[in-house]
Amino acid sequence: MESNTKDPEVQKIFNWKIVLVLFSTLTLIALIFLIKLRGYFSSYVNSELFDKYYNVFVGILFLNMCLSTYTITIYYYRVRKPGMKGQPGKYGDLGDSGDSVSCDLYTPKKRRFRLEKEVKVEKYEVDNEIARNSTLDLDRRRIDPKWFNINSAREGGVHASENYESPAGNVLGNKFSTCIRNRGDERCRIQNGNENAERGFVNQGIGVIEDVYNKRENKLTTRYSTKPFNGGIFNYDLNHLKTQGKINSMQFTYDKNQPMRKKKVKLALAGSKLGNENNDGTGSEFTCPPHSSVYKIETLHDVDKNDKTGKIVGMKFYCKDIRSGEHIKILNSENNFVDNVHFGVEPRPDNKRYKYGKVECGNYQRCKRGGDGQKKCKGRPGFLSNVTAIDDDDGIIAMRFNKCSYLEPNPIKDPTDVGLE
C-alpha cells in the first residue's frame, strides 16, 4: 500500500545575520550618497522648494530603508525558529489490516484459571449467650447533648450540685431603689418573662423559649429552654472621659444551633428588650465565640438621687467553652480578641463614683464514693441562663439571674453515675 504523505518542499533560507549586514550596508551607502550629492541635485534642479524639503525627503527615505531592513531581517530570523504546536488535525480514514508477522492477533484465545491453593473449611462458632443478652435501642441511636439547670444541695433533685450557690442571691444594680420598695410605682416595670403569658409562661424569668420536635408524638412542643445566654445588644451613653454613663437598653442573645457547634453561631434573641425602647445612645453588641457562652457579669450602678432612680451604668461580660470550661477571648468592636468586653463605664471594684456588683456561675459537680471509699467528683461548667430585671423608660435599674445551666454530653446516662466524660 502506497503512502499518501508528501515530502515537504525544501525552502532556501538565508542567514538573518547576513541579511542584516547586507541591507544595513546598503542603507548607509544610500544615505552617504544622498548627502554627498546634495549640491549636484540643487544646481541641477535649481529650486528653493527642493532645497527646503531635501533633508525631509532624505530622512523619510532613510527611515523607510531602516524599516525595510528590520522587516526582512526579522522574517529570516523567525522563519528558522519552530512555531508553537497547533491544534490536532482530523483523523484520517482507517487503513486496511496488515499481515501479522510476530504477533498472532486474530486467533481466539482461551484462558483458564487454575486453583493454586486448596481451600480449608474452618469451624466458626457464635456465642449465642452474648447475642441473646444484647439489645438494640433504636430511640438512642443518636444522642444530642442537653442543657439542665443546676440545683443547689438544698434544692435537691437529680441535678443538685455540691458546693453550688445559686446566682439569685447576687442582685446586680440598684437593689435598694425606691422604685423596688414601692411596688405601686408606675415608673418601674418588672421584666419576668410575662410577655409570653399567652404561650403559657408566667413569672418564669427571661430566658430562651424554643420549639422542640417530639419524635414520639411527631409534633413541635414549645418549652422554656435551659440554654445559656451567649451575647447581647446594647445602647448606652458615655462621656468623653469614660467616667460617666448609663446603659439605656439591652437584650440578651443565644445560640439557636442544637447542638451548639464549634465553628458556627446561629444567633437569636432571648426574651424581651430591657430599658429604653427608642435605641437612644451608642449602639453596640457582642457574641461569645462558637461553642462558648456567658458565665460571669460585672456591673456598676448609681444610687437614687432626688427624683432620679439609680441605673446600671456599665456592664462587663466573660465567656468560656461549654464543654471544657476554658476561658475564651471575645472579639470586640475594634476586631481585637480580648479577655472581656464592657459597655458604658468599665466596671472595676475600685470605682469611687459608682457601686460595683458581680455574678458568676459555678461548676456543676457530681460525686460518689468509689470502691476504695474515696470520694470522686467530676464537674461541668455553669453558665447564666435566666434573668429577672426591673427597668423603666430611662434604663435598667436592677437584674437578678435566677438560674445557671450546664451541658450534659450524654443525657441518657444515669445522672447518678459519675463516670462521665
pLDDT means per 10 residues, the chain with 421 residues, are 44 76 90 84 78 84 90 85 77 74 65 65 67 55 77 82 83 84 72 75 82 74 86 94 92 90 90 88 93 95 86 95 93 90 94 94 81 78 92 91 88 46 35
CATH architecture of 146-408: Aligned Prism (2.100)
d(CA 280, CA 299) in angstroms, rounded, equals 20
pTM above 0.85, yes or no: no
Dist. CA 80–CA 371, nearest whole Å: 94
- Which residues is 234 bridged to in the sheet? 250, 284
Q: What is the pLDDT of residue 414?
A: 44
231-260 burial, b for 16+ CB within 10 Å, e for fewer? Answer: bbbbbbbbeeeeebbbbbbbbbbbbeebeb
Helix %, strand %, coil % for the chain, to 5? 20, 30, 50
CA distance 398 to 359: 13
| Cis before 259 (ω within 30) | yes
Per-residue pLDDT, 127? 67
Give the list of residues 6+ apart from residue 332 with CB closer than 8 angstroms, or none: 286, 338, 341
Beta-bridge partner residues of 222: 211
pLDDT, residue 128, reads 65
Query: Residue written as cell 466573660?
Result: 318
The SS3 assignment for 357 reads strand
Cα gap 51→71, rounded to integer Å: 31
State the pLDDT at residue 117. 65
Confidence (pLDDT) at 113: 63
Mean pLDDT, rounded, of the chain: 81
Q: In this predicted structure, what is the pLDDT of residue 388? A: 92
pLDDT of residue 9: 46
